[in-house]
Chain A
Amino acid sequence: MKKILVIEDDSVILKFLKLALETNHYEVLVATQAAIGLNEVINQSPDLVLLDLGLPDMDGMEVIKEIRKIGQTPIIIISARGRELDKVGALDLGANDYVTKPFNIGEVLARIRVSLRNQTSQNKLIEFKFKDLIVDFEKYKVHLKGEEIHLTPIEFKLLDLLIEHQGKVLTHSFIQEKIWGYQTVDDYQSLRVFMANIRKKIETNQQAYDYIITEVGVGYRFKDD
């Protein structure tokens, strides 16, 4: 049974989260203060942390830093702070995902599943299949509905990165760093252009994208259903 630590100071929300998680067969640890929460991370080594950013004793951003000093436990932020700036800040500090209050329990549970699965499937895939898309990582080939699609090396690297973190939001700066290895000051224009090109090649449904979702002002996420 997976162990989840919830750090949240509002008692009612905490109660509901605990109930929902237990109903879904998770073991739940709770903390109403950051200090207690950090202590639990060290002593109980939970499989995942749900973290509210507005805690009484410490700012949530600091808590992320502290947890990252201890290890790579997945962190999902649950916060009333809904600005892109806050999201990007938390994700860049090492949070794995970000859910804005008010949320549905179902949504939180889905994000938890994604983060836990990413955690377990560390070894590199040889072949990836999702909907009509097949990516062969050994031969560097991409097939959509059985037809081969040509991607440039950088486009392939981008797709690879998104698939590796399927279901998780990747911030612009994270992608930039991973693909190009340096930061830019042009507001990620080239990254946007590359993403648009990939989409042109793999997204056939123009109303709703099947594979890559844009998180406005934050980054991109490979779909996970």
Chain B
Amino acid sequence: MISQRKKWIFTSLTIILSTLLSLAFEQFNLRRENILLIYVASIMMIIVETKDIKLGVLSTFLLVFIFNFFFTEPKYTFIISDPNYIITLIIFMFAISILGTITTSLQKEVKTSRNNEKKIELLYKMSKALLTAHTKHGIIEVSKAYMKTIIDRKMFFYFKDDTYWDQKNQFNDPSQFLKEIDYAIDNQIICGFNEVKHQHLDFKIFPIHSNKDIEGAFIVDCEISDLSRQEKEFIQTGLLHMLTALEREKISDEEEKTRIEIEKERLKSALLRSISHDLRTPLTTLSSGTSFIHESYELLDDDTKKGMLLDINNETTRLSEFVDNLLNLTRLNANQLVLKQKNELVDDILTEVFLRLYKRLGNHKLQIENRNEFYSVYADAALLMQVFINIIDNAIKYTPEKTSISVKYEKIDTFIHFYISDEGGGIKQDHLESIFNDFVSIQATKSDRFKGIGLGLSISKAIVTAHGGKITAYNNPLGATFEFTIPSSKKTYKKGDESLKVEDTIK
């Protein structure tokens, strides 16, 4: 905007210049109409430049007098002798005023449309920014920043669920304030300063409401002046954009929750299926074996019957071990498994494991390499044996007969490293990666077979981790190797940071 002084200077200069030009025309005896046109042009210039209709009217009067003074007979007086000139001057003034009005309204039009354009652009930018904003907080912050660029005054958001309320102590009487906000939300109208309801306030309350349980208000300070119609419209449109973003966020939140719930359910039922499979398989042997011996007792020779009874006996051991695993799993989940750690000789533990497994070995060979009688571990013997049994039992079940399984161990720094290797051709890469942590992802490959592995191995991992050790699986040239570490003495034992948790999902 041009300052007031500049306007006056510009107006005076235009009038002086146009008068000088007219005097020059007069000198050359040019027609009077030309002089009038010069004046019309200069008045237009004044109106366009100063954008001030008052100045335009003023200069029109001034120029009429100047014209009268310099160019009408009798010259250099304000008397008009020719009535023609009076008519000319009246029409002249009339035309000027019409021109002036048109020009100014046109200018106003341009100004408003420019403003609107700017607002639309801002709203567009705002909705674009809202698209990338996540979390309720982020969305509100973005909206507020954009509101601030258009309407620069005090403003804040309030949400009923209290998740976002900046400037809580803005008002002396929050309870009264909340009532007013509730009224605005319930009736979906703008309340406050200069509105139908609650006019006594010096701020306006814009309700924020959607059927997705988003309820709140946007409060704008009106202490100095009221909001213009455009500002109000802008706020309402902006709030609508924000509400859409909030709803979208809410829906995606809910979807995420549902997805997690579904996933949990899926894992739960996968676990149940796995348990039922692991229970039913040995039970099948027991049930079919005993019923067969019973029905065909006379048809079978003694050796066959003896062999079958041994198999049945082995399956009962396997079944009871599975029950142990299940119990440990439950305790692990309830964080109730207490490690009874003592210094144990590795050799003792392996001997015991060997004793418990040998009947089940069948045509597999189990060998313990490079035995060392002096190595010891600081461990819960029963649980550590469970780790060995789980891993070796899997190897027995899932590698071809007549292959060997070997156990090796060595001391590296303060840990004993155990290596259990089989010759079963190895484990698929994608299974290797998830074999301990995410046993359920293996279940996703429909085969029931991996279920047994999963449960035993995730328990093994939990046990090893609880001892402060680590467990991994990888392939060797002939098969798979499971490697895990157990501290060699109490000093090096640090409770594992993952503590005693198998999987949250199992709960």
A residues lining the B interface (CB < 8 Å): 9-13, 15-17, 19-20, 23, 53-59, 61, 80-82, 101-106, 108
A13/B284 contact (C-beta < 8 A), A20-B296, A55-B449, A59-B447 known? yes
A23/B299 contact (C-beta < 8 A), A53-B448, A105-B291, A106-B291 known? yes
Q: B276 touching A80 by the CB < 8 A rule? A: yes
Please indicate the chain B residues that have their CB under 8 angstroms from the CB of A81 in the complex. Answer: 273, 277, 448
State which of B287, B315, B401, B446 has its C-beta within 8 Å of the C-beta of A12: B315
State which of A11, A17, A80 has its C-beta within 8 Å of the C-beta of B277: A80
Q: B287 touching A104 by the CB < 8 A rule? A: yes
B280 shortest CB reach to chain A, Å: 4
State which of A15, A55, A82, A104 has its C-beta within 8 Å of the C-beta of B447: A55
Instruction: Give the dominant DSSP class at B's interface.
Output: helix
Please indicate the chain B residues that have their CB under 8 angstroms from the CB of A57 in the complex. Answer: 447
Q: A102 touching B447 by the CB < 8 A rule? A: no
A105/B447 contact (C-beta < 8 A), A16-B285, A54-B277, A56-B398 known? no
Please indicate the chain A residues that have their CB under 8 angstroms from the CB of B426 in the complex. Answer: none
B352 shortest CB reach to chain A, Å: 24
A54/B308 contact (C-beta < 8 A), A101-B284, A103-B287, A105-B292 known? no
Please indicate the chain B residues that have their CB under 8 angstroms from the CB of A55 in the complex. Answer: 447, 449
B residues lining the A interface (CB < 8 Å): 273, 276-277, 280-289, 291-292, 295-296, 299-300, 304, 308, 311, 314-315, 362, 397-398, 401, 446-449, 451
Task: With A11-B397, A12-B282, A16-B285 given, name 9 new contacts (CB 8 A).
Answer: A10-B397, A12-B285, A16-B292, A16-B308, A17-B288, A19-B300, A54-B447, A103-B287, A105-B291
Q: A56 touching B300 by the CB < 8 A rule? A: no
Among B288, B314, B448, which residue has the most Cβ atoms of chain A within 10 A? B288
Q: A105 touching B448 by the CB < 8 A rule? A: no
Please indicate the chain A residues that have their CB under 8 angstroms from the CB of B304 in the complex. Answer: 19
State which of B273, B280, B295, B311 has its C-beta within 8 Å of the C-beta of A102: B280
Please indicate the chain A residues that have their CB under 8 angstroms from the CB of B276 in the complex. Answer: 80, 82
A12/B280 contact (C-beta < 8 A), A54-B447, A80-B448, A105-B295 known? no
Q: A103 touching B273 by the CB < 8 A rule? A: no
State which of A23, A53, A54, A108 has its C-beta within 8 Å of the C-beta of B288: A108
Considering only CB atoms, which chain B residue lies closest to A107 in the complex?
B291
B453 shortest CB reach to chain A, Å: 10
Complex alpha-carbon distance, A58 and B445, angstroms: 9
Q: B281 touching A103 by the CB < 8 A rule? A: no
B274 shortest CB reach to chain A, Å: 10
Please indicate the chain B residues that have their CB under 8 angstroms from the CB of A101 in the complex. Answer: 280-281, 283-284
A56/B308 contact (C-beta < 8 A), A80-B281, A101-B280, A106-B295 known? no
Q: A102 touching B287 by the CB < 8 A rule? A: yes
Q: B285 touching A56 by the CB < 8 A rule? A: no
Q: A56 touching B283 by the CB < 8 A rule? A: no
A5 shortest CB reach to chain B, Å: 18
Considering only CB atoms, which chain B residue lies closest to A10 in the complex?
B281
Report 10 cross-chain contacts, Cβ distance below 8 Å, ordered by A residue: A11-B401, A13-B284, A16-B285, A23-B299, A54-B447, A54-B451, A80-B280, A81-B273, A101-B281, A103-B284
Complex alpha-carbon distance, A19 and B311, angstroms: 13
Please indicate the chain B residues that have their CB under 8 angstroms from the CB of A106 in the complex. Answer: 291, 295
B394 shortest CB reach to chain A, Å: 12
State which of B273, B288, B296 has its C-beta within 8 Å of the C-beta of A104: B288
A188 shortest CB reach to chain B, Å: 25
B297 shortest CB reach to chain A, Å: 11
Complex alpha-carbon distance, A104 and B283, angstroms: 10
Please indicate the chain A residues that have their CB under 8 angstroms from the CB of B314 in the complex. Answer: 12
